[in-house]
Amino acid sequence: MLESAPLRQDIVDAQNRIKKHINRTPVLRSSTLDSIYGTSLFFKCENFQKAGAFKSRGAVNLVFLLTGQQAKNGVCTHSSGNHAQALARAAKLRGIPSYIVMPSDAPQVKVDAVMEYGGEIVFCEPNLQARETTLEIIQEQSGAFEVHPYDNYDIIAAQATAVKELIEDMDEQADIVLCPVGGGGLLSGTALGIKYFSPGTRLIACEPKGADDAFKSFSKGEIVPSLEPNTIADGLLTSLGQRNFPIIMDNVESVVTVGEESIIKSMRIIYERMKIVVEPSSAVPFAAILEEKVDVANKKVGIIISGGNVDLGKLPF
């Protein structure tokens, strides 16, 4: 397993390792949106990824990298989101157990999804400390290998494969790539993907105003934790990881923030125009275009759509 930031070849290796178990997701376009915004948009649709989000890339990569010894007691993590499903699925593919610590208030649809993939769920109080303590106990009891959702170089190498595919599938080089940021797994991977495979492309991170720890961290040059985040973009609540932050500092041009209203409006535009189902976090980059936080006029703009797991009974429009 990688002990330092992934190199070019590490990303190629990750791509080869995971490709059998993930989807090469489509890059979709909309001539109507292009004409409204005077730009060329390329949507990399990780909502069509296995288990509904890019997280399957990292989870598969790590699970299949484990030695027989490391894998023999399974894997564990705490997550109420897409990492939980992705890890449970990856473990099932490898034929090992997975233990997922979830907060007791996790949405039933997410609990069901983890169970469907054969994950063993352990519920805990809905706060970070309870999650970490419970995971520690589970880890000790089971001897399972702990898989962090983003603060891990092999996870980062695998998340980089999404933008690598996007680059390969675009007819010309992207001028800009817009990527949402939560813990920074996708963003740091995207940063390295661009660095190695499309140098010259500008990378702009997009974050909800209500969870602007990456914006603050980027400005300050040190990790500012995410305290009491409040946004509909439930995949972007966490603090940046130690391994992710330096990669982001070195390779991201800027972090822009967007309001809740634009996130919801963008989500609806994506449903209406692209005819795809995305979760709120996926709408954050488009919201940056809507708010004119990024000048996309006459540019080729890649947009990473991170996932499509959303409670359809609670759509905000």
**308 binds a copy of itself per the rule CB under 8 A:** yes
Enumerate residues 115-144 that contact a copy of itself by CB under 8 A: 116
Instruction: Answer for the pair 270, 286: CB distance below 8 angstroms, yes or no.
Output: yes
| Beta strand residue intervals within 35-167, DSSP E | 40-45, 75-78, 98-103, 120-124, 145-146
**315 binds a copy of itself per the rule CB under 8 A:** yes
**The two structure tokens encoding residue 28:** 């979709």
Which range touches a copy of itself (CB under 8 A), out of 42-50, 72-80, 135-143, 167-175?
42-50
Task: Please select the residue that binds a copy of itself; options are 19, 24, 268, 299, rule is CB under 8 A.
Answer: 268
**261 binds a copy of itself per the rule CB under 8 A:** no
**38 binds a copy of itself per the rule CB under 8 A:** no
Report the greatest alpha carbon distance in the chain: 57
**20 binds a copy of itself per the rule CB under 8 A:** no
Q: How far is CA 150 from CA 49, 57, 232, 265, in A?
A: 17, 11, 21, 28
Total residues binding a copy of itself (CB under 8 A): 22
Q: How far is Cα 190 from Cα 173, in angstroms, rounded to an integer?
A: 15
Which range touches a copy of itself (CB under 8 A), out of 7-15, 45-53, 64-72, 95-103?
45-53
Q: How far is Cα 188 from Cα 150, in angstroms, rounded to an integer?
A: 9
Task: Please select the residue that binds a copy of itself; options are 47, 56, 159, 239, rule is CB under 8 A.
Answer: 47
Residue among 1 and 315 whose Cβ is closer to a copy of itself: 315
Q: Give me the least distance between CB of 108 and a copy of itself, in Å please.
A: 13
**The two structure tokens encoding residue 147:** 């898989």
Among residues 206, 237, 208, 243, the alpha carbon closest in space to that of 223 is found at: 243
Among residues 312, 300, 308, 232, the alpha carbon closest in space to that of 270 is found at: 308
Task: Please select the residue that binds a copy of itself; options are 162, 278, 294, 301, rule is CB under 8 A.
Answer: 278
The residues of the shown chain that bind a copy of itself, judged by CB under 8 A, are 26, 28, 31-32, 47-48, 50, 52, 116, 268, 271-272, 274-278, 308, 312-313, 315, 317
